[in-house]
Structure 1
Amino acid sequence: MLEIQNKRVLKILELFDTEKKVLDSASMAALIGVSSRTIRNDIKECNALLKGQGAEIRPEPGVGYMMKIHDEDRYAAFRKVQGGEGGKVWLKNPIIPSDHNDRISFIIAEILLNSLHQRGVTESELADELFISLSTLKKYMKDIKKSLRRFSMEITTDRIKGIGIKGDEAQIRYCMSEYIFNSNELVDLTQNGFYRHVFSLEEINKVQQIMLEVIQKYNIPLTDIAFKNLLVHLMITLKRADSKNTTEYSREEMTNLEESAYFAVAQEVIAVILNRLHINITNEVYYLTQHFISSKKLDHEEDTQVKREYRILVDSILTKIQADIGIDLSEDEELISGLMIHLGAAVNRLKFNMNIRNEILAPIKKNYPLAFEMAVIASEVLAKQEKLQTNENEMGFLAIHFGAAMERYKGNAKAAMTAIIACGTGLSTAMFVKSKLQRKFGRQLQIVKVSPLYEITEESVNNVDFIFTTVPIRGIQSEKIIQVEPILTKEDLGRIETIIMGKGAEYHEHFFRKDLFFPKLKANTRMDVLEKLTDVMLKKGYIDQIGKKSVFVREKMASTELGSLIAIPHALENHGEEAVIAVAVLEKPIHWDKEKVQVVFLLSIPKSKCRAWEPVFERLYRHFISDFGIHTLIKNPKFEVLMEKLEQY
């Protein structure tokens, strides 16, 4: 593997692999957080890396850059060598991080690794490792403390010992699992520096073999990820216990864990480790039992009463999704079964306040925003009925189930409606109407043919769902005949959409208001953005105080950033009858949570218009993420540009 000293090179390659489109330097600069000039220099570095690898990044005059792959096999081989997961992702090379979030993660990992060795690390040492000044390092401490707050952990400082950590032992271990190990190292733990430094390859293989033997003996079904997570926590336990750091449980918790069938499994793992590795972790039996319980699946031998309880929970989730979003998934038995199995493990994880890594959280939120919103609704139900607070990683896994259900839902949707376009004012006009209808409705509307006016008969009307005509059709009376203007106006499209979608449908472009469009908005944080937008919406009567408060409640539940410089925050409650979408193009990108954001779509959709959720999310995704159209709006932040983009299809 080639050692790459500039991480931006990897990010640029990721962008071209992900987007598969022409990218201009301004777009890449905004996404990566550097100047266009720096991007141009980085492109040269990319091409030096790609030389002889079957690909190059070429400038396209007037539009930007495009990756040209002239040898698919050679480029695939290059990806396989440089990337992980069979070449699907670009590996994080051992390079000094320069990105804000990467530096945060690097500093936390260094503090955690040093704590494993029972030592602190000084600010000077951290600053030297990152090649930054002490004053710059201190600026990161606020975000570091915020990140550790998720685990109820605190930073400790000592003039002699340096920076350390303080908190519940179980939470410290969960934090180590998240920050010290990445997805590649879960596949091959020997690639992790911590393991190589603390344990020999022989010891790693021995622990893994012990786990496999016991799991197979007790016939415990585990996914590969669940097994690797168990192994990660067992390895951390071995090191932490060696330093006299052990977990503590209440008498009630211990009694409940002792009653579990997995208690005997945990005891056997610990006994074999003592026998073969001569490491005594007997007092960790409750911690290990907890991990086995939280990794299990709900199976066919599960107690009937337990199954009934999970079915009631799933039914409550699906009922609330239908009430809030207007999508009925109650007949999807595959979804119901999948959610019951998933919740069987997830509820136990949440009860013990355990975290689970979700490496695909970002692409889930970006590609399936509506499915993620369903997961947020599910977390509301869990909070209300089970008194459990769901974290964003768990929401991401729930969203996978909803995403698959939505694909089935769309596949089972009714067939496209059919139409004939009557050619009354010339073929060119009819073809223009056809083109606009196809761009607007896509697969929802099938244009059977374009016919001269004299060919339209009662029979042809009966054979299709609609007849679109630019002139009156004499002698035939039917609600299927829809007269439109030769240029097919916005009003025509809105009327047709209402008819196609049904009475509850609405022309969604009407949700966007010119008085709620904010070009070049100045803001430093996401809360600053939300305050400014909701203040205006409240003042103009688009939302009330409850609606405004619910925007912040929703943001607290899970960040609404989607990647590609976009965030879609929204109100959980809208007691009015009007659906509106406020749009802000920020003067410059800001760190929203983990990603940079420059365009914000703030949605406020009342329950009376809940069916609009799906088409609105799909339209925003199609126009501004999938088509990379957000950069058109950033370059030219005008309401007219926004509407033109929305009306392209």
Structure 2
Amino acid sequence: MFTHRQLLIISFLLTEGIPLSSSFLSAVLGVSERTIQSEIKEMNQYLPVDETFSISSKKKMNHQELSPATISWLKQLIHENKEINSHNLERKNLILMILFFEKNYLSMEELSKRLFVSKTMIHKEFEHSWKLREFIEVSSKKGLKMKKSESFQRNISAKIFSYSESLVNLLGLPADTQNKFEQVKKITNSLFLAHQYFISGKSLALFQNYLLMTIIRNKMGFHLVEGVDCLPEKPPMSALLNEIILALNEDFSALDIDCIQSKLNELNVTTYVGEIEEIGYYTLIKEKLTIFFSLLDAELGIKIKPSRTWEERFFMHMQKLLIRLDNGSDNDNYLKRKMNQTYPLTFQVLRDYFLPTFEREIPESELSYLVLYFAEFIEADERALDILFITDSLPSVIYHTSELIKKYSGFKVNHIKTVTVYEYLQKPADFEKNYEVMLTTSERVILESNRAFLIKELFNKEDLSLLSEYMSMMIAYRDRRRRQWFHDKFLKNIEIQNISSGNLKMQGITFIGKTITHEITLEEPLIFISSFNKQQASSIEIFQFQKKYRHRSKEIEYIVVSSYNPNEGNIQSFYHELHHLLKINALKKLTK
């Protein structure tokens, strides 16, 4: 049947009073005139006998011999095509949704007809989407069919469902779907608030979708099966869910209720009204987190001392995550590439130390959310400073000056170490080696050091602007030194190695299915493979593809492989500079 592009051509050709040429359509649709003529030739095959479209290549002349019934039929198809393309679901998710609501095999022809795309386009979707390949059974004789359990299909359909009238029509959902969806939203919004169960907006939308999918699929004959759709353990029904079920007045099975309660338990909470020590996994999380912090201190020299607020947020998030893992579920994360791109060191640390400590397989999507809790402690902060304050002032003056700098300088101050003028003059080189910013109230120190900055003994807010300018200058100086160190040690003599997709294994890069081991998925179109290795010196290797390689729906030009030895120190500086290298423009500049 007609494809999306063919229906676009038909919509132009059916426009009354506007003569068209194939060259005009070629320019509008961005395809060659030969393609336009080929599409029209194929379109004519679907028309009734003796009815055709024709168009001149140069003259503004198009002609059709169509009956009123055919014109009406074509306009209906154009309307349906617009409806199909009016919602915001990706095509791969549309394919999944269609097959979620099919009990029998669906032919490739029928699927292409419903989506107004060619079979070739559907094949391409399968090539580019691991979800389609993993979730769908493909038979050359029978067609396509979902091969996952009912509980799995409810979970995934709840994630990707986005209500629209066109989607309801496409999937053949019950006529009262919109009314039922509005009822679900109204009841849950009201009862969640009444029970002070505060969850994120995305979590609420997910739960509402899950309830709707459960109701609709039950009506359409898709039921959970005892022994197949089982939970690890039966969760007790909460008062909140009991009221939701009574208000909905739907015929839920006992297994339905268990699964709905399980979904409710795993939703991310934004505000917890109880004591954090009372949550189910508190002792486990506390023990594992203590071990993790000790490992980071011993292995990487990274100290983490979180606040009470941090602990409350993290413990609640981690508890919900562990429940999701127990239920075989996870949160989608459409920002994981950006998170990993921004915080590559934190992701690497979590993968190498956090996962083994907790002894759980945590999906990359969920792990990337955890990155945001730890990045402030692990990543190098470009505006964070260690300050040496050289003064013989009285304690109250030292305290007053230190607090002003911490609160109002505009910079994050990790630590202010105070020493007397006498202490500094005994070994000035040692102090200068360890501190980027040196402040003093002594002119004697200024004579000894060209880096020290003289401030008033009674410092006040009006003096901060000049100090901030000095601190900015010292940060720039620090960054130049760090950039030069990184370039001289890792990039100065680097050889960019040419590589083809056929010899990836020869270069020591291991594939497991379609996944590259040790890869960190980035937003930039490159493959980044990172590891910690105490047995060899830190290194960076860069590979450039002779021809772009398709991977994770992106055209890859480079592979960056980094290995870091934690014993060398400077781990935050190394990854800070590596972060700047993980961009296509930076790699191209280096290649030149």
- Superposition TM-score, scaled by structure 2 size: 0.62
User: In structure 1, the residue corresponding to 2:95 is in which secondary structure?
Assistant: helix
Instruction: Report deviation, 1:402.
Output: 2.3
Q: Does 1:212 align with 2:189?
A: yes
Correspondence for 1:587 = 546
Alpha-carbon offset, residue 314 of structure 1: 2.2
CA distance in 1, matches of 2:179, 2:518: 41
Q: Does 1:223 align with 2:223?
A: no
User: Does structure 1 residue 301 correspond to structure 2 residue 275?
Assistant: yes
Say whether the 8 Å CA contact 1:263–1:286 is kept in structure 2.
no
1:601-640 equivalences under 5 Å are 601-609=560-568, 611-612=570-571, 614-623=572-581, 625=583, 628-633=585-590, 637=591
1:234-258 CA-partner distances (Å, limit 9, x unpaired): 1111122223333356699769434
Alpha carbons 1:565, 1:589 under 8 Å: kept:
no
- Residue 295 of structure 2 corresponds to residue 337 of structure 1: no
How far is 1:447 from its partner? Answer: 11
Q: Report deviation, 1:288.
A: 0.6
Partners of 1:315 and 1:330 within 8 A in 2: no
CA distance, structure 1, for counterparts of residue 243 and residue 232 of structure 2: 18
Question: Secondary structure at 1:389's aligned position in 2?
Answer: coil
Q: Is the 8 A contact 1:569 1:603 kept in 2?
A: yes
Is the 1:375–1:399 Cα contact (8 Å) retained in structure 2?
yes
Tell me the distance in 1 between the aligned counterparts of 2:149 and 2:230: 16
Q: Is the 8 A contact 1:374 1:402 kept in 2?
A: no
- Using the size of structure 1 for normalisation, the TM-score is 0.57
Name the CA distance, whole Å, in 1 between partners of 2:286 and 2:230.
Answer: 25
* Match of residue 533 from structure 1: 507
Structure 1 Cα separation of the partners of residues 580 and 262 of structure 2:
43
Q: Does 1:574 align with 2:555?
A: no
Distance in structure 1 (CA, Å) of the matches to 2:495 and 2:345: 23
Structure 2 CA distance for aligned equivalents of residues 292 and 112 of structure 1: 23
Deviations 1:442-469 (A, max 9, x none): xx95799xxxxxxxx96424455579xx
Deviation at 1:518, TM superposition (A): 3.1
Give the aligned partner of residue 148 of structure 2. Answer: 167
Q: Superposed, which structure 2 residues align to 1:267-282 within 5 Å?
A: 267-274=242-249, 278-282=250-254
Find the counterpart in structure 2 of residue 373 from structure 1.
348
Task: Quote the residue 2:495 is aligned against.
Answer: 517
Q: Measured at CA, do residues 574 and 511 of structure 1 come closer, stay the same or move farther in structure 2, by a change above 3 Å?
A: farther
Match of 1:472 in 2: none
1:395 alignment partner, one of 367, 370, 374: 367
The verdict on how the C-alpha distance between 1:306 and 1:375 changes in structure 2, with shifts beyond 3 A counting, is same
Q: Are the equivalent residues in 2 in contact too, given 1:123–1:134 (CA < 8 A)?
A: yes
Give me the whole-angstrom Cα distance separating, in 1, the residues matched to 2:232 and 2:107.
Answer: 42
The alpha carbon displacement at 1:122 in A equals 1.9
Question: How much is the aligned-residue C-alpha RMSD, in angstroms?
Answer: 4.6
Contact 1:222-1:295 within 8 A present in 2 as well: yes
Q: Alignment partner of 2:202: what SS?
A: helix
Partner Cα distance (1:234, 1:511) in 2: 57
What is the rounded CA distance, in whole Å, between the counterparts of 1:303 and 1:371 in structure 2? 27
CA contact (8 A) 2:276 2:315 kept: no
* 1:507 matched residue in structure 2: 485
Q: Which residue number corresponds to residue 24 of structure 1? A: none
Which residue of structure 2 aligns with residue 72 of structure 1?
Answer: none
Q: Deviations over 1:369-428 (max 9, x none)?
A: 2233344346523xx54x43111210121112223445796665414999xxxxxxxxxx
SS class of match (2:495): strand
The amino acid of 1:213's aligned partner reads S
| Partner Cα separation in structure 2 for residue 506 and residue 116 of structure 1 | 59
SS of equivalent to 1:414: strand
1:564 Cα deviation after fit: 2.7
Return the alpha-carbon distance in structure 2 between the equivalents of residues 408 and 192 of structure 1: 49
Pairwise CA distance, 1:582: 0.4
- Residue 257 of structure 1 aligns to a residue whose secondary structure is coil
Residue matched to 1:288:
260
User: Match of 2:360, SS?
Assistant: coil
Q: Per-residue deviation at 1:120?
A: 4.3
| Contact persistence 2:126–2:133 (CA under 8 A) | no
- Partner-residue secondary structure (3-state), 2:530: coil
Taking structure 1 as reference, are residues 328 and 287 closer, same or farther at Cα in structure 2, changes over 3 Å only?
A: same
Question: In 1, distance between residues paired with 2:377 and 2:293?
Answer: 12
Flag the 1:563–1:252 CA change in 2: closer, same or farther, 3 A: closer
Distance 2:537 2:211 in 1: 54
Summarize deviations over 1:189-243 as a string: whole Å, max 9, x none: 4588349963543322111112123323332121111111111111111122223
Alignment correspondent of 1:112: 97
Q: Distance in 2 between the 1:447 and 1:94 partners?
A: 65
Matched residue SS, 1:570: strand
Count of aligned residue pairs for this structure pair: 440
Q: Which residue of structure 1 aligns with residue 524 of structure 2?
A: 564
What is the DSSP-based 3-state SS (H/G/I as helix, E as strand, rest coil) of the residue aligned with 2:529?
coil
Aligned equivalent of 1:177: 158
CA contact (8 A) 2:519 2:528 kept: no
Cα distance in 2 for residues equivalent to 1:263 and 1:407: 41
The CA distance in 2 between the partners of 1:407 and 1:523, in whole Å, is 33
Is residue 230 of structure 2 the alignment partner of residue 257 of structure 1? no
Equivalent residues of 1:520, 1:584 under 8 A apart: yes
- Residues 96-135 of structure 1 aligned to structure 2 (within 5 Å): 106-118=91-103, 120-127=105-112, 134=119
User: 1:273-323 deviations in whole A, cap 9, x for unaligned?
Assistant: 22xxx5545530110110111115465335547423222222233334445
Partner of 1:316: 291
Q: Give per-residue Cα distances to partners, 1:77-104, cap 9 Å, x unaligned.
A: xxxxxxxxxxxxxxxx97599xxxx99x
The within-5 A match list for 1:424-573 is 459-462=445-448, 465=451, 507-512=485-490, 517-523=495-501, 529=504, 531-534=505-508, 559-571=519-531, 573=532
Indicate how the Cα distance of structure 1 residues 136 and 599 shifts in structure 2: closer, same or farther if over 3 A, else same.
same
